[in-house]
Structure 1
Amino acid sequence: MSRIRSLPTELVNQIAAGEVIERPASVVKELVENSLDAGARRVEVDIEEGGARLIRVRDDGSGIEADDLPLAIAAHATSKIASFEDLERVATLGFRGEALPSIASVSRFALTSRQAGADSAFRIEVDGGRVREQRPAQHASGTSIEVRDLFYNLPARRKFLRAERTEFNHVDDLVRSIALAREDVEFRLSHNGKVVRLYKASRDQADTSQRISEVLGAEFLGNSMRIGQEGAGMRLHGWVGLPTASRSQADQQYFHVNGRLVRDRVVAHAVRQAYADVLFHGRHPAFVLFLEMDPLGVDVNVHPAKTEVRFRESRLVHDFLYRSLHEALADTRAGSSLQSAAQGADAQHLAASVPSALQSGLRLGVGEPLADYAALLGRSPGSVPSGPMPDNAMYGLAQDADGGQIPPLGFAIAQLHGIFVLAQNAHGLILVDMHAAHERITYERLKASHDGEGIRAQMLLVPQMIAVSEREATVVEENAESFEELGFDIARGGLQSITVRRVPGLLASGDIQQLVRDVIADLATHGSSRRVEEARNDLLSTMACHGSVRANRRLSLPEMDALLREMEATERSAQCNHGRPTWVQLTLAELDKLFLRGR
């Protein structure tokens, strides 16, 4: 081998570019983040030929002092950190000081900037790493950066660029994700001289909703709920998609940590577990979430492109995310989206059309047991609904003409083909999948019963010896208390073996070895495991499916109404155990449209 030598600065920057700059979207990311760090309130991104020919980012931020322009394109020079303490508490999007010199080393680069109050702007150019002398220029307060002919001096890298439309789509996706995180900033994106996106800065909640609709479509807002949770020194807020609005791919998942868009396996695992009980297999939830926490608790310096982070207390973050989302999804009760039920004319129209005897009987029956439905469920008459019914104010019930209450799901009027319950509420027609709805009610009741009893363990007649790796055996040894809480009695039997003597009773007939291995993997990766709970829930879900009313079972009106009332009171009842919707609403306006009324 040849002697060790220092690499030329230009080559060092090109190597760094290989880590930071993957495609034009990578350049846009670094430049826009610098604009936001500079306090910009307006950012314009101009792209030509997907970014291969030109990337221009212009902002109205604080600008760069003329004497600092050479440093801005020097390796590892930055105004954002000055000490190791600063590095531990990074509060800016950019901070490494390698983006601009890396970009400049693989393009024809120009930076023009002017500080507020300065007599003029100054411009400095770099051609493939060769710096030219800076000179005065015309420019408003702020900064413009032009990146032309990306990878022109690295033909092999340039060949890896995709078609123009593909590269621009990556840029478009990036700008949209940043626009979601910074609603207070105006963004404009142009391609080949044509404005493609224009996101105005938000001034109030209405503007914020408008931006969400522009970025993700009006369907997202209509099929999601806003959440806000605080705890353990963290705050989680944003929008999570309803389980019934899941997607075939994870293309609408945006998670930001202190304003930084990241991909993190701790986050992905927590979200997946939170949705596990309400999402159909193979489907993906949509969400736009923001996690705010002490910068000291998250390391953003683990990846050159800063797309990954490492949480110092990953188990705490995981549990907070899971609990927050799990509780939010628990509120997806059937009819919950109708809690602001219409008053006045619509309610009077409903009251007038429902038989008076049925109205009065149900008015008295809200919260009271119905013997027929109790028999249907195999329960004592006094247990339907289970526990005291919540106050009517919880549902936002409408008033009929006589002062009676109209529940969100209304009153049953018929049964269709022994499968669907038809009901009429203040908004129009409700259709309920009878079996799916009852399956969720039964399932939630079974879970509540078993949660109240705790995990019942069962001793194995013959202890099972399982061969594991030395690392896995150590995990078992170090997490003996966690295994005990999950209903296991497991001990290390040797350097690469463990012995299982007791398991959760409900799961004793299952694949014990696979379950134990899965729990070990979770504890090693995330510090906690819900494998036992998930396996138990799978079993309870099957039991609920077999124990629910089947198709072609004729129900009386009181039985159907009791089913509606239980749906309104049961957590997650907007979807069945497999993630399918249990009910739909057809408004009077939608019905009128079907029959061309009013035209």
Structure 2
Amino acid sequence: KEGYEGTLMVNKFPFFIIFLELDPSVVDFNVHPKKLHVRFEKEELLYNKVYNIIRSLVDEKFIEEEAKYISTDLNNFIPSNEIQVEKSEDLLVKNNTELEGVEILTEKEEIFEESVQLDLLDQIAGNQFGKKSFPDSYIRGKYIISKGFPKLRLISYTGQLNNKIYVVLEGTNENNEEGLFLLDQHAASERIKKEKLLATYEKTKIFKQKLIQPLKIEVSPSEKVFLEETLDDIKRLGFKFEHFGGNTFILREIPTIMNKLPDIHIIKEIISDITEIGKDKSFKDVKEEIINYLACHKSIRGGDDLSLKDIRNLLVELAACKDSYHCAHGRPTLKFISYKELDKLFKRTV
């Protein structure tokens, strides 16, 4: 389970068969009357070896090569008699080149193409014939309604869909196939926040901001015990709590990725939730789960309206992640549909 961590969705588990060749003298088979459990002489060494083997394969198959498998299969929408096996030369994979860096354009470097916007009557807006000029936002937001025809309109100029969960992009995958990408804005933001929190926890230099006016927070007795036992670990995540007395704590610092001071009720909710997560285990055992929770809590949400700058920053930061293709809970951040698949869907090719 830990070897697959971060690549499977919640409540999904890997199927596995493990073969171990060991000296029988290092295994105690008499731990359980029904032999349901055994004890190894060097459990930590064995655990690390099995974990590293599994994790290396997971990294290779689910992370490093993920872009090859995120394409949405459209064959279900194509009649079976029209699906033909592609020629072998079409299946050759081109040599991959690693991304050495992410190009970031400043506003001055942005290139805008001049375009002509047509109004709903297919006339050039504001032309010499005196046609009324419609604002771009009006044209994009106006549905075309006709009996026997679907209710349609243009998507927003940012590519963000109306449900404000997905963003439509176009590009090229690592196999040099051109097509459309669908971005889940919450999943992408959650991955970015998780890796930042992990980096903060694992580094001695913590990026945090002091509060001009510290928050005084009242907690429950169980939350008090949890905070007292984990103050140093929580501090490594960027939160600096001090025990003020009784069930009262003072919050003096928060991690910079929180951007601004959250409402005191949100801080109380965070304390309550991470206490519940870690009540029966040590912080080390639930560190990943707590970080996943915090990453989810401070991410862009489904329903948040994003600007062009927001979406571009999201893509730049996602591209720099170690695992760009999964959120903190294992869901995909991107899905790809090639133009070749669209051609098959519209029967331009068979």
TM-score where L is the length of structure 1: 0.29
- The higher radius of gyration belongs to 1
Structure having the higher strand fraction is 1
